[in-house]
Amino acid sequence: MPLRPPAGFIRPGFDPLKVPNAPTIGTATGGDTSASVAFTAPSNVGGSAISAYYAVSNPSQITGTGASSPVSVTGLTNGTPYTFTVWALNTYGPSPYSAASNSVTPQATRGVFFGGTASGTYVNVIQYVSISSTGNATDFGDLLTATAFGAGCSSSTRGLFGGGAKLPSFVATNTIQYITIMTTGNATDFGDLTQAKETRNSACSSSTRGVWGGGYDSGLSNVIDYVTIASTGNATDFGDLTVATYSSGSCASPVRGLFAGGGGPDTNVIGYITIASAGNAIDFGDLTSKRQGTGGCSSSTRGLFGGGYGSALSPTVTNFIDYVTIATTGNATDFGDLTVARYTDAACSSTTRGVFAGGYTGSGDSNVIDYVTIGTTGNALDFGDLLAANQGPAACSNGHGGL
């Protein structure tokens, strides 16, 4: 890599004494044919303000630009390892390159669906889709035991499935299992939740911490648990939800986790936590209606909650999708509709696309997978099908908004 950027940036008026110092490289994070490159701006900006920063890949010298850290570099090849350097530009010319970043390997964002019930029978099936490409699900492997109504969360490499009910007769479980998302195979024991959750708890995660909230086992629960995703072991108490509930939906930004709706009785309450700091949930706002069994997913800024069943006084299976801006408390807003009304569906996402799968329609289980573009309101579109009609699966992905 040369010491200075391309000669095209050495223009009339170039003054090497007035160009910026090199930025200080930070951490690069891989995405789907992309990477996000963090850095620290130089303290010496030279003779004028910095107008832009450029991140350059090695190999291929693919360049992204931005006004501040991080800079996104797109058009990378999935499966190829890259490092990145960053340089700054002001009126007088380009800075030297920064040091090289860590190596990252972009990869397709994979959504994984765990367990559930098919034709009234609990299943141990794990299946997956590539979120950026529509199509039917593919077999991934098996859970340790057939389980439904648990909850999934994930880092960029590891998916976790916790709680739920298992055979022989709706027995509550506190088991947490894990997989490596980009490597097919059977699940492995991770540890235990602090309490068994027989009816759907919900879960969300940052890049390092997985959090489960609520659930039901001989009574409603407001308990929130957490684990460090990279380290197997039992969960630790995090705090309490604002409402004891089961079958809520959950999503996250890199900082904040949301728990929305739920049963016992049906509620429209949304609570939030700061994922890195243990403590009780705080009121965020309300869904557009009271319902349980919603699927939740998110980009880094916007959370979606789709489907559900409510209210208890007039039971109705819904196809509603609501959205919130995760960083800003307030009530949810109508986003659009799923292709099929359903509840106890599962949802996962990339940073741009949300996927909702399975659930119960009121007259039977669904195998339908829908998708939406998270940043653009509107009705969902058909994505493909699960391996079989399934209610009560759980889901996660390696590229969701909490990373």
Q: For residue range 127-185, what is the model confidence (pLDDT) as tens digits?
A: 999 999 999 999 999 999 999 999 999 998 999 999 999 876 678 899 999 999 999 99
Q: List, for residues 318-359, the tens digit of each pLDDT value.
A: 999 999 999 999 999 999 999 999 999 999 999 899 999 999
Q: Is it the case that residue 12 has pLDDT exceeding 50?
A: yes
Token pair in block for residue 239: 């705090």
Q: List, for residues 39-48, the tens digit of each pLDDT value.
A: 999 999 999 9
Lowest mean pLDDT among 189-203, 306-320, 354-368: 306-320
Q: List, for residues 370-388, the tens digit of each pLDDT value.
A: 999 999 999 999 999 999 9
pLDDT for the residue 9 = 65
Rounded to the nearest integer, the mean pLDDT of the chain is 93
Average pLDDT over residues 13-28: 92
Spelled out in words, what is the top-level CATH class assigned to the domain 7-94?
mainly beta
Q: CA separation (Å) from 223 to 70, 190, 308?
A: 36, 19, 22
Looking at domain 110-397, which of 3.40.50.11030, 2.120.10.80, 2.60.110.10, 3.90.550.10 is its CATH number?
A: 2.120.10.80
Token pair in block for residue 128: 């997956």
Q: Is it the case that residue 315 has pLDDT exceeding 80?
A: no
8 phi, psi to nearest 5 deg:
-60, -20
Q: List, for residues 46-57, the tens digit of each pLDDT value.
A: 999 999 999 999
What's the CA gap between 320 and 315, in Å, rounded?
A: 14
What's the CA gap between 48 and 255, in Å, rounded?
A: 34
Contact 343, 317 (CB under 8 A): yes
Average pLDDT over residues 227-251: 96
What's the CA gap between 95 and 87, in Å, rounded?
A: 6
With vertex at residue 216, the alpha carbon angle to CA 347 and CA 296, rounded to the nearest 5 degrees, is 15
Which residues are CB-contacts of 328 (< 8 A; sequence separation ≥ 6)? none
Query: Domain locations in the chain?
Result: 7-94, 110-397
pLDDT for the residue 257 = 98
Share above pLDDT 90 across residues of the chain, in percent, rounded to a whole number: 83
Q: Which of 185, 130, 198, 132 lies closest to 158, judged by CA? A: 185
Token pair in block for residue 159: 């998916």
pLDDT for the residue 243 = 92
Q: Which helix (H) or strand (E) segment is 117 a member of? A: strand 117-118
pLDDT for the residue 4 = 57
pLDDT for the residue 1 = 46
Q: Is it the case that residue 71 has pLDDT exceeding 90?
A: yes
What's the CA gap between 181 and 94, in Å, rounded?
A: 40
Q: CA separation (Å) from 398 to 112, 128, 182, 206?
A: 9, 11, 8, 11
Q: Is it the case that residue 361 has pLDDT exceeding 90?
A: yes
The residue to which tokens 């540890």 are assigned:
191
